Amino acid sequence: MKKNLTHLQQLEAESIHIIREVVAEFDNPVMLYSIGKDSAVMLHLARKAFYPAPPPFPLLHVDTTWKFRDMIEFRGRMAQESGMELLVHVNEDGVKKGVSPFTHGSALYTDVMKTEGLKQALDKYKFDAAFGGARRDEEKSRAKERIFSFRSANHRWDPKNQRPELWSLYNTRVKPGESIRVFPLSNWTELDIWQYIHLEEIPIVPLYYAAVRPVVERDGMLIMVDDDRLELKPGEQVEYKSVRFRTLGCYPLTGAVESEADTLPEIIQEMLLTRTSERQGRLIDHDQAGSMEKKKQEGYF
């Protein structure tokens, strides 16, 4: 009897193939682990690719020092469970200069703590391939990015000079100093990710589930008061609301949504019935038109 693979089985197989190809062809790969739901799926796929062995590469988290506390705890737990080495890199220059989302604005803060931090870490460990959890459906400039996306020695992406990518034959050749960003989830959509988490029972950070949390309303977004570094502006007031997060990043830049969805099916239900895309909760995409494309050319993930 003919057995056709479902769409999730096909996506899974494609991702595992990509992850194995990187390990077979690169000397020093790393998996960028952002602790979010896409990273959770990517890590799960890596574990499947090499089972019964642990994935033969480390996890790297570029820590801006402003991540939610729940994320940091979850990060340690998953590294332990997967048996993988966890590397955490902080841009110490940025910390010394006191760069924070409050004092320097989201654009400069992201550039220093995320983009610069990432480049420092890649240079420090001399990784020649870095897995990222980005998806093509997230943002228009990503729709044209390759699965194996070449970066120059100074980490730049050149959208006009990408290598053609055919079949599942990936060009993995780099010269010393150059690297490739690899996106195993390129062809997944947000719905695919959630369905797969549901089907495979993949653990995710509790912040995705609704709970009563302290928040303030700022610039039209609900910002969670995750620690005492969040200084209240005049007129702002901490309220306790049942909220959850559709996407996770730095807590001062990540908007919560009011929600009662505290199970996975309810989250998916809410997502399916909603009318706004997930990146809306991120301040950095709103800065300017084509902002993601500019950031990517400069080396942002």
Partner 1 sequence: MAHQSELIEKDILAYLKSQEEKSLLRFITCGSVDDGKSTLIGRLLWDSKMVFEDQLAALEADSKKVGTQGGAIDYALLLDGLQAEREQGITIDVAYRFFSTDRRKFIVADTPGHEQYTRNMVTGASTAKVAVILVDARKGLLTQTRRHSFLVSLVGIKHIVLAINKMDLIGYDQEKFNAIEADYREFAAPLGFTSITALPISALNGDNIIEKSSETPWYQGPPLLNFLETVQVEDDRDEQPFRLPVQWVNRPNLDFRGFCGTVASGTVRPGDEIRVASSGQTSKVARIVTFNGDLEEAVAGQAITLTLEDEIDISRGDMLTRPEAPPLYTRHPEAHLVWMHDEPLQPGQLYLVKTATGVTPGRVTAVQYAVDVNTLEQKQVTTLGLNEIGLARIELDRPVSFDPYGANRDTGSFILIDRFTNATVAAGMVLNAPDESQRAHLSAGESNPWAPRLITLDAVAATNLNLVDLTEEKGLFILDLAQSIHDYLGKGNRILIRLRDLSQLEPVAQLAYDNELAFEFDRNGDGVSILLFKRGTTPLKGYGDDGTGI
Name residues contacting partner 1, limited to 14-73 (CB under 8 A).
Answer: 14, 16-17, 20-21, 23-25, 47-54
**122 vs 174 by CB, closer to partner 1:** 174
Min CB(137)–partner 1 separation in Å = 5
Q: Looking at beta carbons only, is 96 or 160 nearer to partner 1?
A: 160
The CB-of-278 to partner 1 minimum distance in angstroms stands at: 9
**Does residue 288 interact with partner 1 by CB under 8 A?**
no
For residue 136, give Cα distances in angstroms to 51, 140, 146: 27, 8, 9
Tokens of 100: 């924070």
Question: Residues 128 to 147: which contact partner 1 by CB under 8 A?
Answer: 136-137, 140-144
Site for partner 1 contains 6 (CB under 8 A): yes
Which two structure tokens, joined as six digits, stand for 155?
């980490």
Exactly one of 65, 152, 189, 242 binds partner 1 (CB under 8 A); that residue is 189
Decide if residue 201 touches partner 1 (CB under 8 A).
no
Q: State how far the Cα of 120 lies from the Cα of 19, in Å rounded to an integer.
A: 24
CA distance 115 to 295: 8
Interaction residues for partner 1, span 80-109 (CB under 8 A): none
The nearest distance, CB 89 to partner 1, in angstroms, is: 28
Per-residue DSSP letter, 115: I
Of all helices (H) and strands (E), which one includes residue 182?
Answer: strand 179-182
CB-based contacts of 3: which residues, under 8 Å, 6+ apart? none
List % helix, strand, coil for the chain (3-state, nearest 5): 40, 15, 40
Half-sphere exposure of 258 (CA within 13 A, CB side): 7
Beta carbon nearer to partner 1, 1 or 212:
1
Interaction of residue 195 with partner 1, rule CB under 8 A: yes
* Residue 162 found at the interface with partner 1 (CB under 8 A): yes
Number of residues that bind partner 1 (CB under 8 A): 72
Shortest separation between residue 243's beta carbon and partner 1, angstroms: 19
5 binds partner 1 (CB under 8 A): yes
CA distance 83 to 86: 9
With binding defined as CB under 8 A, does residue 171 bind partner 1?
yes
Q: Which helix (H) or strand (E) holds 241?
A: strand 239-244
Q: Any contact of residue 232 with partner 1 (CB under 8 A)?
A: no
Near partner 1 by CB under 8 A: residue from 28, 126, 177, 199: 199
- Hey, what's the torsion of the CAs at 199, 202, 208, 212, to 10 degrees? 100
Q: How far is the CB of 62 from partner 1 (least distance, A)?
A: 25
Site for partner 1 contains 2 (CB under 8 A):
yes
Tokens of 92: 């110490």
